[in-house]
Amino acid sequence: MKKIFLLSVLLLNLIISFAQSGKELLTLDNYLIPVNKKGAIIGKIVPRPRERVTLKDPSNIFTVNKEGYITLKKNISITEKSPEHFQITLQNNKGEKKIFVLVKDNFIRNKVIAHRGAWKNQDASQNSMKSLKKTIELGCEAAEFDVWLSSDNTPILSHDPSTGGKKVEETTAEELFKIALKDGDFVPSLEEYLLHIKSQNKTRLVLEVKASQKGKERCEAVADSSVQLVHRLGAQAWVDYITFNFDAAMRIRELDPTANILYLEADKSLEELKAAKISGIDYHFSHFEKDPDLVKKANALNLKTNVWTVNKEEDMKTYINMGLDYITTDEPELLLKLVEKR
Ligand code: MG
């Protein structure tokens, strides 16, 4: 009898772990390594592994404990001279492996999010490589950008459903990559953006999953492809997600239990968002005007706050004083001047 019971428990566990491996990705709740902090705790493995996990670490400076925390070894700290990032591999006793990139935390925290990159005053197209490079050069906290799927399922950058006279969702990636933008740029892929952001550790990305015009399944597919690519390239440390589409937000959360996801559509209560494990709100400024206590209410629920699109100096001052976590703007040069003065 006991044997049958144990066998059924074992079977149930196997089913659960298979079900999980089909959906939820293995994550860390933090990928940033604090500088000059000996033995620092970096992040916890989520979901907590059922089996023993071993760590492959060519740099020989990290360790994983029984509770699933990745830490620096006891007497080790990283300094300004250390590399910008380190790759580690976690392996369970089934031989399944997952690579993570841990990043030295030199990230800028000045609240300035360049909306579709820094393009307006930089002779660059929105959502282009140049607008991303300018965002980094200026020293913004992050570059916001928009992702669709091409007809052959490649995540592509475009704000509008069409670019260069072609419908993104009806056109192959190969055709889209031929569309010329300003100053020698072409329509970029999400992969190009992720690879470029990983070349530094000061500026991050705010990835908007666009709501497909082809319905719920396709919306979720944009979310799926984006999250899978971020994980495949080990870019989790650099990427937050935003979306107007609640199904897409839920799909991102299903796949990545620790990603920051901010919701753009003000059609749910803060309590509903909290219950759905959304990390915060990213609302048009009219919502913060209408309810001057919105930031306070969000903070009380531990929800992050971002406002768009704030382009006038007076408004920027208002939102800086309101204490939002992020301010999204087409005029990052101006907002940078204002935050630097403070
Ligand atoms: Mg956007």
Closest CA to 210 of 163, 276, 274: 163
Separation of CA 199 and ligand 1 centre (Å): 23
Model-wide pTM > 0.85: yes
Side-chain-side CA neighbours of 153 within 13 Å: the count stands at 8
CA dihedral defined by 168, 171, 172, 177, rounded to 10 degrees?
-60
Closest CA to 218 of 150, 116, 276: 150
Separation of CA 309 and ligand 1 centre (Å): 10
What's the pLDDT at 257? 97
Closest CA to 84 of 99, 68, 102: 102
Separation of CA 103 and ligand 1 centre (Å): 26
Separation of CA 313 and ligand 1 centre (Å): 21
Separation of CA 209 and ligand 1 centre (Å): 8
pLDDT per residue as tens, the chain (342 positions) = 555 544 554 444 443 333 344 589 999 999 999 999 999 999 999 999 888 899 999 999 999 998 999 999 999 999 999 999 999 999 988 888 999 999 999 999 999 999 999 999 999 999 999 999 999 999 999 999 999 999 999 999 999 999 999 999 999 999 999 999 999 999 999 999 999 999 999 999 999 999 999 999 999 999 999 999 999 999 999 999 999 999 999 999 999 999 999 999 999 999 999 999 999 999 999 999 999 999 999 999 999 999 999 999 999 999 999 999 999 999 999 999 999 987
What's the pLDDT at 50? 85
DSSP letters for 44-77:
EEESPPSS-EEEE-TT--EEE-TTSEEEE-TT--
Separation of CA 263 and ligand 1 centre (Å): 12
44 φ/ψ angles, rounded to the nearest 5 degrees: -100, 145
Please give the structure tokens belonging to residue 234. Answer: 């080990």
Beta bridge partners of 156: 148, 189
Separation of CA 162 and ligand 1 centre (Å): 14
Separation of CA 146 and ligand 1 centre (Å): 5
Separation of CA 23 and ligand 1 centre (Å): 26
Under DSSP, the state recorded for 237 is: G
Separation of CA 255 and ligand 1 centre (Å): 21
Tell me which architecture the domain covering 6-104 has in CATH.
Sandwich (2.60)
Amino acid at 18: F
Domain ranges of the chain: 6-104, 112-341
Separation of CA 322 and ligand 1 centre (Å): 22
Separation of CA 244 and ligand 1 centre (Å): 9
Separation of CA 159 and ligand 1 centre (Å): 6
What's the pLDDT at 3? 54
Separation of CA 291 and ligand 1 centre (Å): 23
Separation of CA 168 and ligand 1 centre (Å): 15
The domain 112-341 having CATH identifier 3.90.950.10: the answer here is no
Separation of CA 321 and ligand 1 centre (Å): 24
Separation of CA 144 and ligand 1 centre (Å): 6
CA distance 307 to 272: 19
